[in-house]
Amino acid sequence: MIGFISDWGYTEHYVGVAKAVIKSINPEASIIDISHEIEPFNIRKAAHILFRAARDFPEGSVFLVVVDPGVGTSRKSIAMRTKNNQIFVGPDNGIFTFVGEAFGIIEIRELENRKLRYTDSKTFHGRDIFAPAVAYLDRGLSMEKLGPRFMTYEILRYRKPHRKGNLMTGEIAYSDRFGNLQTNIPSETLELTEDFSYASVVIRGKSHRATVCDTYMEARHGDIIVHRDSSGFIEIAATKDNARKLLGLGEGDLVEIELE
């Protein structure tokens, strides 16, 4: 199974031809489109979405991940095999930060075997380098055939979550199309239980009252809510409204949540 993430959208031919290259090499490939609507060049959001999605994919899955503003430059093309028996293929630009950290790394290979490439364009490595590598790996090719071992990889700088009592500090990972704010704070860390009905969400020194909920519709229209999202993290949302606009938060912003 192949999971596919990019910032290409669907108005041009990029997604289609990358899939065509995969299918020409591996006709039996099953390709799952995770998202192609990542904002252009947003490596951080792609890294978070990749980590959340990969946990729902089975062992043996291979991921094609292309958010690559540095395509054609000195940045490397890599494949990473993790301890949960998944393989991630794409640019070495920090996009594999969270899967590498969470799953553990067995090996990384640089994609230097030119015999496996589709062609040698400078600006479409998603089609010419990454897609063929993914197709061959999904077909059973050994990692060592891709190229030499790569001993390190780029890591995004981010604020790791921290807990002190009922206060959890973390950052906004990204926001979705509804304006819901996905944090990097694990939901179990805050132990959202029936003992807590409210929380304070502190942003740039200003405290916002929030209701602790299980669903989006347990508060009044426009109220800020805090709840477990479906991926195991704390989400800040607004009932039938846009929390990103109401709170003025964006990716990487500091957030503090204290249960009351």
Provide the residue ranges of all domains of the chain, joining segments of one domain with +. 2-145, 162-259
Tens place of pLDDT per residue across the chain (260 aa) = 999 999 999 999 999 999 999 999 999 999 999 999 999 999 999 999 999 999 999 999 999 999 999 999 999 999 999 999 999 999 999 999 999 999 999 999 999 999 999 998 999 999 999 999 999 999 999 999 999 999 999 999 999 999 888 888 999 999 999 999 999 999 886 665 556 688 888 887 788 888 888 888 888 898 999 998 999 899 999 999 999 999 988 899 999 998 87
162-259 CATH, one of 3.40.630.30, 3.20.20.540, 2.40.30.90, 3.40.50.970: 2.40.30.90
DSSP string over the chain: -EEEEES--SSSSHHHHHHHHHHHH-TT--EEEEES-SPTT-HHHHHHHHHHHHTTSPTT-EEEEE--TTTTSS--EEEEEETTS-EEEEESSSTTHHHHHHH-EEEEEE---GGG-S---SS-HIIIIIHHHHHHHHTT--GGGT-SB------------EEETTEEEEEEEEE-TT--EEEEEEHHHHT--TT--EEEEEETTEEEEEEE-SSTTSS-TT-EEEEE-TTSEEEEEETTB-HHHHHT--TT-EEEEEE-
Domains 2-145 and 162-259 share a fold: no
CATH 1.10.10.10 fits 2-145, yes or no: no
